[in-house]
Amino acid sequence: MSVAGGRGPEAVLDRAALLARLRETESWDVLVVGGGATGLGCAVDASSRGHRTLLLEAHDFAKGTSSRATKLIHGGVRYLAQGELPLVHEALAERSRLLANAPHLVHRLRFVVPAYRWLDIPRYGTGLAFYDLLSGMQGIGHSRVLDPASTIVALPTLKPAGLRGGIAYWDAQFDDARLAVALMRTHFDHGGLALNYLPVDGLIVDDGHVRGVLAHDAETGESFRVRARVVVNATGVWADAIRRAELPQVRPLLKPSQGVHIVVDAGFLPGRDALLVPETADGRVLFVIPWQGRVLIGTTDSPRQDLPLEPTPLAGEIDFILAAVAPYLVRPPTRADIRSVFVGLRPLIGAGDSAATRSLSREHCIEVSPGGLVTITGGKWTTYRRMAEETIDTVQSVAGLPQHACITAGLRLHGGEAGPSSDPYGAARAAVEALPGAGHPVHAGLDLTEAEVRYAARCELARGVEDVLARRHRALFLDAAAAEAAAPRVAAVLADELGRDAAWCDAEVERFRMLARQYAQPREQ
């Protein structure tokens, strides 16, 4: 069955049918540019309110920052220390909603802050008790003081010498790219349309008002002139470029920074608890987190002037992470232990060259231009839903749309209908297992099956090897070498699903190999 939308885990999203729907629709109520967390959140909010909503993404959904987070849904203990109490309170409320609305992708995670000085215990304990207090009725577990023995039980590879104890507290963890896919599918469930690999080339401006966009299909080159009552600019670190398409001299909103993460084997921090390094050399916190059978360590906060699609670590960033964690572990990781390195760019609010990016606000900003372009930027994954709600409230007023109330605070996302699950497919698992190749891994070192590759192509708009190995499955982020080894089989299965030939397979595999080697052995700039 090939359809341009539809409900249920088995609904096939056929690109040809989706493009036909785009051609046939004369005008949209809401047109969202950008398929990351914020754009997808806006699309879900608008379509679930009953507005005819289109989302266009230049590359793949969550290709940029939204697949490169620290995988945490949290209030932000660092923001608490900085006194950003409204931001922390809002994020903690959204954490509770995400645990309820995406129970197959968001799960509780306990963190332990080790104390090597006696004064650290009351210092950290008091702060985290206040964190609990800010959670209010949305709390997911109380913080508690641990003695040295209990701290070592929680973090078996922690250095015991001089350890005074620790403080344990609760936050949540998620799979960012899979949550983006769930949002895309939820948007379709509510009658919306979303297309990846359909970049926007410019804005349609009539009599000073933004009335749509010019776009093209990256696969065929076909051009589109898409009209809408309102355009939402949700392009993350590239938001200023869209703003300049309307007003070339507009003042920048953003001062991007980048965050680097490294991934190592689970043996460096076995168990289910995460380690929080309370203070790094630059005054930040560092997370050491069990994630999908590996350990994720990060992150950095470095200003970035350019905006590459595939950023690489700046000089010294990897060494900074390794040095920050080394004092805490009996056997700290080295460069030779790194399985993958990934880098994300943050759309921080703040222009100019003087401010350190770590001091810039993680809050979001909604701007309405003179021509009615609505730009939403800043924020973080945890608060994407609240950002989207505020944006679509603004959109309804700007475009004169019916004032429908937001329903996403209690809206279960696609796949989460069956409740809590450790399976990222959630309620869609039966549909996956019904496809050819169920139980047949594409590579011995990965849990990705041929059936999951087919499902990615049929039901999740995966168009190439990278889409599958980086975002429908997280192989590239977990083990770049294993992902590279799996690429030929993934390409073959995709070719069968998408009707591609051997030349396409060869090109896809070569393109992915180059990318995987960058993740395995990143070049510092």
Question: Is CATH 3.30.70.100 what the domain over 19-65+178-250+362-410 is classified as, yes or no?
Answer: no
Using the Cα atoms of residue 421, residue 423, residue 429 and residue 434 in order, give the sign of their dihedral. negative
Closest C-alpha to 431, from 14, 12, 17: 12
Between 85-101 and 120-135, two packed helices, what is the crossing angle to 10 degrees? 60
For the segment 156-187, what is each residue's pLDDT rounded down to a tens digit? 999 999 999 999 999 999 999 999 999 999 99
- 38 in Cβ contact with 376 (< 8 Å): yes
Entry pTM: 0.95
Instruction: Report how far residue 266's alpha carbon sits from residue 158's, in angstroms, rounded to the nearest whole number.
Output: 14
List residues bridging with 375 in a β-sheet. Answer: 233, 367
For the segment 401-419, what is each residue's pLDDT rounded down to a tens digit? 999 999 999 999 999 999 9
For the segment 267-302, what is each residue's pLDDT rounded down to a tens digit? 999 999 999 999 998 888 999 999 999 999 999 999
Domain residue spans in the chain? 19-65+178-250+362-410, 110-173+255-351, 434-520
Instruction: Report how far residue 374's alpha carbon sits from residue 394's, in angstroms, rounded to the nearest whole number.
Output: 8
Contacts of 123 (CB under 8 A, 6+ apart): none
For the segment 214-232, what is each residue's pLDDT rounded down to a tens digit? 999 999 999 999 999 999 9
C-alpha triplet 207, 208, 214: angle, nearest 5°: 90
Q: Omega of the bond prior to 375 within 30 degrees of 0, cis?
A: no
Q: Is 136 buried (19+), middle (13-18) or exposed (0-12) by CB count in 10 A?
A: exposed
Radius of gyration of the chain (CA): 23
pLDDT > 50? residue 352? no
Amino acid 3: pLDDT: 47
User: With left for phi above 0 and alpha for psi between -120 and 50, is residue 208 left, alpha or beta?
Assistant: left
Q: Within a 13 Å sphere around the CA of 470, how many CA atoms are in the beta-carbon half?
A: 25
pLDDT > 90? residue 395? yes
SS3 category, 182: helix
Assigned token pair, 443:
């590579």
What is the CATH architecture of 110-173+255-351?
2-Layer Sandwich (3.30)
What are the two backbone dihedrals, phi and then psi, of residue 99, each rounded to the nearest 5 degrees?
-60, -35
> Do 19-65+178-250+362-410 and 110-173+255-351 fold alike per CATH?
no
